[in-house]
Amino acid sequence: MGVPTQHVADSYDLYIDGAWVSASDGGHFATVDPATEESITEVAEATAEDVDRAVAAAREAFPAWRDTDPDERGRIVHRIGELVRENREELAAIESLDQGKPLSQAKSDVDGAARYFEYYAGAADKLEGTSVPVGADGIDFTLREPYGVSAQITPWNFPGNLFARGVAPALVAGNATVVKPAEQTPLSSLRLAELCEEAGVPDGVVNVVTGFGDPAGAALSSHEGVDTITFTGSVPTGQVIMKQAADNVTPVTLELGGKNPAVVFPDADLDEAARWIDRAIFTNAGQICSAADRVVVHESVHDELVDKLVARAESYELGRGSDDPDMGPVVSAEQFEKVTGYVEVGREEGATLAAGGGTPDGEGYFVEPTIFTDVDNDMRIAQEEIFGPVLSVISFETEAEALEVANDVDYGLVAGIFTSDVTRAHQFARGLEAGNVYVNQWFGDTNQTPFGGYKQSGIGREKGLEALDSYLQTKNVAINLAEGSSDSLPGA
Ligand code: NAI
Ligand code: MG
């Protein structure tokens, strides 16, 4: 065991039906500290049989949870949020250790997680249906009912925060859940499951099966006992999950990343634009679905903006998350290979390396903040999600060209506009093919705003009240008040 820490046990079991249990075959895997490449601890490796057990526990627990008074469900979910706040330092330390991110960023993730529980808790007793006017001879209304078992397959970039983003609305709507955290970062989800129990969530309503995409994730997404699937991760895995779900006609909510443009016009406040874009690509070492991967900047301000971005990038200090550096390592050896591979691709494609590009000597999966200029939007570094601290700068001449470049990718998650012209901001926002548009800022979505992608960036919306639609299905009830009306049979 490389790094002893006060918050981490020697080994972890699966959390199924309110109990800690070993994997059916006793298997374990190591989770690694990406700053040292050393094992932190051992975590149970769920088999398909374990996933079966977790789904069965959730099915069993579902009816009583669904029938719990909504105000009581809301109080319990709110209590989870309070416990997340009370355990903020510990949760952030675990996340920073397991994932690599700077401690202050981990704390902000934990605050966001608490907010999801608080925000959705308030909605628990407001999930109203509608009444449909059908005339004097009937009454017609809708009920919004939970699906049953919600599978949550989460990624490694914001593990605890995304646990909360899915579990909070699922619970509030009356579903039971089975969470399969990413194998790189299982620890915060296990601690959150403990806090759910402490808050009064009944046994079986929240289950956590740590393990790999195959077999654990695949067993979950193809399970007949799962009623709805929420997935955040890569496009190829999202496609596999959607195909598996099709066999059982299980609905999916998919959040699949992006290649997000930040469009900078000559009338923008360039200092502000540089500050936002810097945060938007280098926070969490660029491992954010809504990162600003591409800067699309007017040629007249190109050099000035690039100078500002380069100065910022070169000031970064890299280090271990727990020391709260400017930037931590990327999450894993695979991600390190992927990101450094793209730096090579950028060089080969003929882009100019304006900052970074290197990897510091020594242990840990560290990649310098990297900026490529002279990027053509057809290059792979402009089209493919790198998911690391690598920015591509593309210049434009006309507004029409800027819009064309911004939209010319398979993704459509978020996009940003920097301008002081309000009319232009509105018009350009309409033209962008993205689920979220930020104007003169980045990461403009909060817990309260719907978030999700156009095009290959996904299906459905997370966050905001709209996310509840993924966890509720509509039942329409039609009551006849007219006597003898069966004589006249339906006109369809
Ligand atoms: P991934 O999409 O394969 O993994 C995400 C989750 O899906 C993990 O929990 C994983 O165990 C699970 N999974 C994998 N295969 C599965 C299957 N067949 N059935 C069910 N679940 C399965 O992502 P990966 O390989 O860790 O990262 C690769 C790339 O994906 C990254 O470089 C990045 O570009 C993108 N990504 C995007 C994220 C986002 O927020 N949109 C988050 C993480 C990765
Ligand atoms: Mg780890």
Instruction: Please report the DSSP string for 85-108 in residue order.
Output: HHTHHHHHHHHHHHH---HHHHHH
Contact 68, 200 (CB under 8 A): no
Contact 158, 188 (CB under 8 A): no
265 shares its domain with 240 = no
Which residues pair with residue 180 across a beta bridge?
153
156 shares its domain with 278 = no
268 shares its domain with 300 = yes
The total domain count for the chain is 2
**Hey, what amino acid is at 407?**
N
Task: Please tell me the distance between residue 232's alpha carbon and the centre of ligand 1 in angstroms.
Answer: 7
230 shares its domain with 338 = no
Helix (H, G, I), strand (E, B) or coil at 469: helix
24 shares its domain with 94 = yes
Distance CA 54, CA 48 (A): 10
pLDDT reported for residue 76: 99
pLDDT tens for 136-158 read 999 999 999 999 999 999 999 99
pLDDT reported for residue 1: 40
For residue 342, tell me if it sits in a domain: yes
pLDDT reported for residue 406: 98
pLDDT reported for residue 492: 54
Task: Please tell me the distance between residue 99's alpha carbon and the centre of ligand 2 in angstroms.
Answer: 5
What distances in angstroms separate CA 446 from CA 103, 218, 287, one per listed residue? 20, 31, 18
Q: Count H helices, E strands: the chain? A: 14, 21
Ligand 1: residues within 6 Å at CB?
153-157, 180, 182-183, 212-214, 217-218, 221, 232-234, 237, 240-241, 255-257, 289, 335, 338, 385, 387
Which residues pair with residue 41 across a beta bridge?
31
Ion ligand 2 residue ranges (Cβ < 5 Å): 31-32, 98, 184-185
Cα end-to-end distance, the chain, whole Å:
68
178 shares its domain with 240 = yes
Nearest CA to ligand 1 atom 29: 234
Which residues pair with residue 262 across a beta bridge?
295, 416
98 shares its domain with 169 = yes
Q: Which of these, 283, 255, 270, lies nearest to 391 by C-alpha position? A: 283
Distance CA 418, CA 275 (A): 12
178 shares its domain with 283 = no
For residue 225, tell me if it sits in a domain: yes
For residue 482, tell me if it sits in a domain: no
Mean pLDDT of successive 10-residue stretches along the chain, which has 492 residues: 70 98 98 98 98 99 98 98 98 98 98 98 98 97 98 98 98 99 98 98 99 98 98 98 97 97 98 98 98 98 98 98 98 98 98 98 97 98 98 98 98 98 98 98 95 98 98 98 78 58
306 shares its domain with 236 = no
Distance CA 404, CA 393 (A): 15
Contact 488, 291 (CB under 8 A): no
What distances in angstroms separate CA 462 from CA 77, 78, 296, 458, 468, one per listed residue? 18, 19, 27, 10, 8
Nearest CA to ligand 1 atom 38: 233
E-strand stretches of 406-457: 414-418, 436-439
pLDDT tens for 268-287 read 999 999 999 999 999 999 99
Angle at 354 between CA 279 and CA 264, to 5 degrees: 50
Nearest CA to ligand 1 atom 25: 234
Q: For the domain that residue 376 is a member of, what is the CATH number?
A: 3.40.309.10
pLDDT reported for residue 2: 43
Domain housing 405: 261-439
Which residues pair with residue 373 across a beta bridge?
352
pLDDT reported for residue 483: 85
327 shares its domain with 398 = yes
Residues catalogued as catalytic? 255, 289
Q: For the domain that residue 210 is a member of, what is the CATH number?
A: 3.40.605.10
